[in-house]
Structure 1
Amino acid sequence: MKYILIFLFIATLGSIAAGFLLETAYSEKLIGFGIMGIFFILFPLFTYHRWKDKNLKDYMLNKENLDKMRDKEKYKR
């Protein structure tokens, strides 16, 4: 998955750079496809890759987690 993300990142940046550097009729489309690739393909895949093994309840502020944070603050002092 890491290599796919790297490849997609390089491909989208390459598309954007080619759109800016090349003087062709479809240079604006290259820029647009690069931006769409980042936001609709690369960013969701990256988010899934980073959060797939995480427990979401560890990051939510509920009564238990607030109590844990308060207990840790007491022991620091």
Structure 2
Amino acid sequence: MKYVLIILLIAVIGGTATGFYIKPDNEATGNMIIGISVVVIFFVLIPLFIYFRWNKRNFKDYMLTKENIDKMREEGRRKKL
């Protein structure tokens, strides 16, 4: 998954650079390539990255439940002492 993200990022950067390179000669095609690159970033690359970073984590550790609030208060009291 890590290598897929790296390859996809390089492809998006290359597509954006190609779009800016083509834009002075053919503005419509350059804008289309840049737009496709932006769409791929937001709808493919970012969700894959978020999934890759969070797939083995427990979401309850990051939620404000009564138990977690009590843990934070205990840790704060220990640090003061």
> If the length of structure 1 is used for normalisation, what is the TM-score?
0.95
**Counterpart of 2:61 in 1: which secondary structure?**
helix
Q: Tell me, which stretches of 5 or more residues in structure 2 are unaligned?
A: none
Q: Distance in 2 between matches of 1:21 and 1:70?
A: 56
**Counterpart of 1:26 in 2: which secondary structure?**
helix
RMSD across aligned C-alpha pairs, in angstroms? 0.9
Residue 17 (structure 1) shift = 1.2
Residue 9 (structure 1) shift = 0.6
2:65 equivalent in structure 1: 62
| 1:16 corresponds to 2:16 | yes
Q: Distance in 2 between matches of 1:16 and 1:33?
A: 9
Count of aligned pairs:
77
Query: Which aligned segments of 4 or more residues in structure 1 are displaced greater than 3 angstroms?
Result: none
